[in-house]
Amino acid sequence: QTGSFTFDPGFLSTAACKSSITYIDGDKGELLYRGYPIEQLAEHCDFLEVAQLLLKGELPNAAEKENFANIIKNHTMVHEQLTRFYQGFRRDAHPMAVMVGVVGALSAFYHDAMDISDQEHRDISANRLIAKLPTIVAMAYKYGAGQPFMYPRNDLDYAANFMHMMFAVPCETYKPNPVLTRALDRILILHADHEQNASTSTVRLAGSSGANPFACISAGIACLWGPAHGGANEACLQMLEEIGDVSRVGEYIKRAKDKNDSFKLMGFGHRVYKNFDPRAKLMRETCHEVLNELGLHDDRLFKLAIELEKIALEDDYFVEKKLYPNVDFYSGIVQRALGIPTPLFTGIFAMARTVGWISQWNEMIADPEQKIGRPRQLYVGAARRDVKPIGQR
């Protein structure tokens, strides 16, 4: 019994770790960050408030919120030498490949905050990562587009500054649309943390060896890239484009049910949620708001996604296996409407999840009982045997 939550004591023997950051009830479709429902945070807070909640355990007051926003604003630029890393990549490099490399390379620039036993050092590297990830993601986009990097602007808030670095060009004044930047801010909140998912577990395992935070976050980015995890939003949009029309939905539902077909309905199903992923509902609402703001009421992919969700949720296979839309089902459509190129979707997921990864990494490092991670195995290989001379093999 911890707080108001109860669980079978035997659970701890199988749990990877104890954490007080995020709670998911997969059967109820409930998601809490430090006890606050995701629905309330998405409505009443912005991403940096949620970042402080995840990092420190409490929502900031007005003064704390402003102070943190100023700290982040003062670290959004990257070292000028780091910009040269981009020149080493092909222009058509996937942004996640660039991010794995560039974020890991931050370890080579910040020797002044690498003592992970010192909470102040951990705070400094955390603030740098939160501040610089948007700059690094936007630079990956600009490099691929063959456009000049846009420096951050301190007069803009976190989401608006990212949109500026992505879409502004030197010869024009870029004016962010507040409805669109608020939508992006909410997308970041929805992706900020999610308990012990694959990439968070990767960050914790890397961090348990004492590796520096930049290297650990780079490992998390690499894991998130997979299409079964953070890459699903990009894969889901490609799937919707391939289906193309409602008349073909049945064919793909049939394929998803066919055990001999490796095809899975992207954006559907979840390791934990056996009910609606609360983030999917909020993402669908955000999608609606953005499309309305842009006058795209009849966006064909959004209409196709709505129909696909309806048909799948009426199908026995999906009902029996408790497969519902997850966070990735609508996030690709709304990011596409925001003008974000498909290959950047997972980069934005990584930008948001960096806050969760750092919070979880901090919690692990601060745990006095923490030891290096060493997952056990069930050995099913050959019994002990002796080597034969090569002539007898």
Residues that bind ligand SDX (CB under 6 A): 194, 197, 228-229, 232, 256, 264-271, 321, 323, 326-328
For residues 24 and 272, the answer to whether their CB atoms sit within 8 Å is yes
Catalytic: 297? no
Six-digit token pair at 58? 């409490």
Task: For residue 120, give both structure tokens.
Answer: 């102040």
Query: Could you tell me which residues come within 8 angstroms of residue 55 by beta carbon, excluding any fewer than 6 positions away?
Result: 126, 355, 358, 359, 362
Nearest position to ligand SDX, beta carbon: 269
What is the C-alpha separation between 318 and 391, in angstroms, rounded? 56
User: What minimum distance in Å lies between the beta carbon of 279 and ligand SDX?
Assistant: 7
- Token pair listed for 192: 């900020």
> What is 164-195 written as a DSSP string?
HHHH--TTS-----HHHHHHHHHHHHHTS--S
Choosing from 46, 193, 299, 328, the catalytic residue is 328
Of 165 and 192, nearer to ligand SDX (C-beta) is 192
328 is catalytic: yes
Indicate if the alpha-carbon torsion angle 218, 133, 190, 62 is positive or negative.
positive
Query: Could you identify the residue written with the tokens 């099913």?
Result: 380
CB of 76 or CB of 201, closer to ligand SDX: 201
Q: What contacts 26, CB < 8 A, 6 or more positions away?
A: 270, 272, 273, 274, 275
Q: Which of 270, 277, 299, 315 is catalytic?
A: 270
In the complex, the smallest distance separating the C-beta of residue 323 from ligand SDX, rounded to whole angstroms, is 5
**Residue whose C-alpha is closest to residue 129's, from 220, 20, 9:** 220
Residue 2: beta bridge partners?
Answer: 5
Closer to ligand SDX at the Cβ: 106 or 232?
232
Of 300, 327, 321, 326, give the one whose Cα is nearest residue 243: 300
Could you tell me which residues are beta bridge partners of residue 31? Answer: 24
> Least distance in Å: CB of 373 to ligand SDX?
18
Our CB check for ligand SDX shows the closer of 156 and 344 to be: 344
- As measured in angstroms, the least distance from the Cβ of 174 to ligand SDX is 30
Q: How far is the CB of 224 from ligand SDX (least distance, A)?
A: 8
The two tokens of residue 82 are 């780091």
Q: Which is nearer to ligand SDX, 103 or 352 (CB)?
A: 352
**Active site members:** 270, 328
